[in-house]
Amino acid sequence: MMVIEPRGVISRRMQVAIPVISALVALALAALPLTFAGAPVLPAYREMFTGVFGSMFSFTEMLTRATPLIFTGLAAALAFKARLWNIGAEGQLYLGAMGAVAVGSG
């Protein structure tokens, strides 16, 4: 039988180490398809970085494209925190976008 127990106290060191290790593992996993495709990994990561942070326009464009996804994630997190299951976040995003277009177009 599975028992749910409260998590113990996590040290400050682990609170820093877990996100850093997670980011490094994500970068390593993302490098696998690049390596298998024969693309140089470090120049590809450099291009990704400069593509987002290279100019103010590219940075604001990234924020513009990421905002709906961030709000969708926050809405799903809020529902999960309230112990409500919401597996239709993507559909809600699309319907919300269509509703915004309908209201905006009069």
Q: What is the pTM of this model?
A: 0.59
For the segment 52-86, what is each residue's pLDDT rounded down to a tens digit?
Answer: 999 999 999 999 999 988 988 888 888 888 887 77
Where helices occur in the chain by DSSP H, the ranges are 12-36, 41-53, 56-81, 89-104
d(CA 36, CA 34): 6
Which sign, positive or negative, has the C-alpha torsion 13, 16, 18, 21? negative
Domain ranges in the chain?
11-54, 56-106
pLDDT, position 74: 87
